[in-house]
Amino acid sequence: MIHETKIIEGTWDLTTYQWKIESDALDLFVKGLKDKKILGRKCHKCGTVYVPGTTYCRKCFIDIDQIVEVDQEGVLDAFTVNLADVKGTLVEHPYITCTVKLKGSDSFLMGILEGWTDWRSVKEGMKVKVVWKDITQGALADLSHFQLI
Ligand SMILES: [Zn+2]
């Protein structure tokens, strides 16, 4: 049993910006996935790169439109080892869901982590890479998983 608490600091201030639904971020993201690229948007003021590419900067509260491609390798951030199903029954094959920070991005992507044999050996900061489906269709599932390297 591992006892660990991680504090993730952040802000959620909705008072200084007109809130809007951002389908553009997801549209850009899946468009890139079809070509096996990870696309985001970069703030021209502070340089923050968002993946998926939001249409405004969460720090500067300004619209952003500079599209950038980030690296397909990065580091493992937070992760959860799934040893049981929702009813608490142990699963035969545990799996790991994770967040990954790709090189060139300041935000995180979620996915499944593969390439490990003992989940106890998986640590934050390990290097990972994107693994694609053989045939991409412009859908979130095009990004098959993240692989330890
Ligand atoms: Zn900014």
Evaluate whether residue 102 is within a structural domain.
yes
Say how many Å lie between the CA of residue 23 and the centre of ligand 1. Answer: 19
In a domain? residue 119? yes
Residue 64's contacts (CB-CB under 8 Å, 6 or more residues apart) are 41, 42, 43, 44, 50, 53, 54, 55, 56, 57
Q: Residue 35 falls within a domain, yes or no? A: yes
Cα four-point dihedral sign 102, 106, 112, 113: positive
Could you tell me the distance, in angstroms and rounded to a whole number, from the CA of residue 42 to the centre of ligand 1? 8
Domain count, the chain: 1
CATH of the domain at 125: 2.40.50.140
Q: Is the residue at 16 inside a domain?
A: no
- Average pLDDT, stretch 14-32? 77
Q: Would 7 be classed as within a structural domain?
A: no
What pLDDT was estimated at residue 10?
A: 78
Cα 131 to ligand 1 centroid, rounded to whole Å: 30
Task: State which residues form the domain around 71.
Answer: 21-148
pTM comes to 0.80
Residue 123 lies in a domain: yes
pLDDT digits (tens, 9 = 90+) for 73-89: 999 999 999 999 889 89
C-alpha distances out from residue 91 to 3, 82, 114, 135, Å: 21, 8, 16, 29
